[in-house]
Amino acid sequence: MFPLFYKASATEAGVSLSNSTAYLGYTIAIATFILALIGPILGTIADYKGMKKRFFTIFFTLGITFTATLAFVPSGNWLMLLVIYTLAVLGSTGSNVFYDAFIVDVTTDKRMDRVSARGYGMGYIGSTIPFIISIAIIILAQTKVLPISMTLASQTAFIITAIWWGLFSIPMFKNVHQKHYIEREPQLVLQSFRRLGKTFKEIRKYRALFLFLLAYFFYIDGVGTIITMSTAYGTDLGISSTNLLIILFATQVVAWPFAILFGKLSERFTGKKCFMSELLFISLFVSTLTSWKQRLTSGSWQCLLLRPRAVSRR
C-alpha cells in the first residue's frame, strides 16, 4: 500500500511518474545494500547466547516505529516519506532475518518444511485482515461515508499495520527462545569478525552451498523487488488504485493454500524438487500469458503477470 500512497504524494508535489518510480527503486536498493553490509556480521554475533532475540527486538522496534511514523508525514513531502520508508524497510527486513533464524529453535529438521510452510500460509491469510480493514476505511472515505480525507484514510492504514505487527509479535517474545547458541566470550565483536572470516574461507570447500547462497542472493532480491515495485509500476501503467489493491488482495489469498500445499509436498519429495517445480510452473504460466499479447491489452494484466512470482519467495 505504501507505493500507492507515495506515488500520489510525489505526483501532488509535481514529480513525474517515471521519476517517482525510479526514486522508490533507489530507496529499496539503498535499504537492501545497508542490510547486506551489516547482515553477515550481525548474523555471526547472533549465534551467541541471547543475541538472536536481542537483534530481532532492535529491528522489530525500528520497523514498527517508522511504519507508524509514515502516518504523520505531511502530504506532499515525498522525500521524507522515502527516508522514513527506508528505516521501516530496514526494520522489517532485518527482523525477518532473525525471525527466520529462530526456526531451528522451534522445530526439528523433519518438521521444518511443514512449520515453515504453515507460518507463511498463516502469514499470507492473516495479513488480509488488516488489509481488508484498511481498504474498507479508504473506500468509506472515498464515498464520503467517513468524514475524513483520502490522505488521512491512507495514513490510518500505516497505524493499523503497526498495531497488527506489534500485537502478533507478542507470542514471539513470550514463547520463542534461542536454544542453539554458543556461549559468549571476551571481545565478542572481534571474535565474530574472526569467525565470519573463517566461515568465508571454509565455504570454498562446499561448492554446492556457496552456489546456493549466491543464487539465493540474486533470486530473493529479484522477488523482493517485484513485490515492492509492482504497484508503483502498475500506477505508471495507468491502473487504478482500486484495481491494484484487488490484485494485491488476490495474491495474498492465492499464496495461502499454495504455501501449505508446497509444505506438504516437501514432506514427500525433496525441498529442491518442489522449489524447481514451482519455478518451472511460474515460468510456464508467465510465458503462456505473455504469448497471448492480443488478449493482454489491459495494464492490469501486465501488473498481474508480475505478482505470481511473489508467491515463490518461500
Q: Is the pLDDT of residue 131 over 80?
A: yes
Q: What is the mean pLDDT of residues 279-306?
A: 61
DSSP code per residue over 139-158: HHHHTTSSSS-HHHHHHHHH
Q: Is the pLDDT of residue 168 over 50?
A: yes
CA pair distance 38, 267, nearest whole angstrom: 34
Give the model's pLDDT for residue 314: 47
Segment of 62-76, 115-129, 213-227, 292-306 carrying the highest mean pLDDT:
62-76
Domain map (residue ranges) of the chain: 2-236
Alpha-carbon separation of residue 99 from 57, 60, 87, 119, 212 (angstroms)? 10, 10, 18, 11, 21
CA pair distance 252, 254, nearest whole angstrom: 6
User: pTM for this one?
Assistant: 0.82
Picking from 24, 69, 56, 58, the residue whose alpha carbon sits closest to that of residue 162 is 69
Of 67-76, 88-97, 120-129, the one with minimum mean pLDDT is 120-129
Query: 3-state SS string over 20-70?
Result: HHHHHHHHHHHHHHHHHHHHHHHHHHCCECCHHHHHHHHHHHHHHHHHHHH
- Which CATH number describes the domain made up of 2-236? 1.20.1250
Using the CB atoms, write b or e for 224-259: b if 16+ within 10 Å: bbbbbbbbbbbbbeebebebbbebbeebbeebbebb
Q: Is the pLDDT of residue 313 over 50?
A: no
pLDDT in tens, 211-269: 888 888 887 777 777 778 877 877 777 777 777 878 888 888 888 887 788 777 777 77
56 contacts 99 by C-beta, under 8 angstroms? yes
Query: Helix, strand, coil: what percent of the chain each, to 5?
Result: 80, 0, 20
The 10 Å Cβ neighbour count of residue 262 is 23
Q: What is the mean pLDDT of residues 123-146?
A: 85
Percent of the chain with pLDDT over 90: 22
Partner residues linked to 48 by β-bridges: 182
DSSP code per residue over 201-212: HHGGG-HHHHHH
State the average pLDDT for the chain. 83
Q: Is the pLDDT of residue 119 over 80?
A: yes
pLDDT in tens, 26-44: 998 899 889 888 888 898 8
